[in-house]
């Protein structure tokens, strides 16, 4: 399951970073921190980078959600709490980021209030 957790997280992080059209340096730094804190091995990260480079936004989303839906409820909650924290990293939360979070959380069958509670208990990413 951990592979699904890590890949699902990476796919959705990519979408969130790209949501406002600007890959802010703070967001890219946060990605590096997430990779380290979540113990994502280099081979999984390279696999992800290779897979995502030619995918359209919808395909990235579908791949991410497919991996997330293979995760436990605890893992799903962890992913969305990290995404919630990531959305705050650049100092502004873009409307498209909010829509992505809300839609993804609903699709994964997680309660938004649970995500907010977990995010509040999660340390800042950077």
Q: Are 69 and 28 in contact (CB under 8 A)?
A: no
Right CATH number for 2-121 from 1.10.3680.10, 3.30.700.30, 3.90.1820.10, 3.40.50.300?
A: 1.10.3680.10
Q: Are 126 and 30 in contact (CB under 8 A)?
A: yes
Q: Would you list the domain boundaries of the chain? A: 2-121
State pLDDT tens for residues 44-93: 999 999 999 999 999 999 999 999 999 999 999 999 999 999 988 877 77
Q: How far apart are CA 27 and CA 57, in angstroms?
A: 18
pTM of the model: 0.92
Residue 98 gets which letter from DSSP?
Answer: H
State pLDDT tens for residues 82-107: 999 998 887 777 888 889 999 999 99
**pLDDT above 90 as % of the chain:** 73
Residue 121 gets which letter from DSSP?
Answer: H
For residue 18, the Cα-to-chain-centroid distance in whole angstroms is: 11
């Amino acid at each position: 399951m951990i592979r699904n957790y890590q890949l699902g997280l990476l796919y959705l992080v990519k979408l969130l970073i790209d949501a406002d059209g600007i890959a802010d340096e703070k967001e890219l730094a946060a990605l590096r921190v997430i990779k380290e804190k979540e113990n994502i091995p280099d081979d999984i990260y390279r696999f992800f980078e290779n897979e995502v480079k030619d995918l359209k936004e919808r395909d990235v989303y579908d791949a991410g959600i497919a991996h997330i839906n293979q995760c436990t409820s605890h893992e799903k909650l962890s992913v969305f709490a990290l995404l919630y924290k990531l959305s705050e990293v650049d100092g502004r939360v873009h409307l498209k980021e909010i829509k992505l979070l809300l839609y993804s959380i609903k699709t994964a069958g997680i309660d938004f209030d649970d995500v907010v509670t977990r995010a509040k208990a999660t340390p800042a990413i950077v």
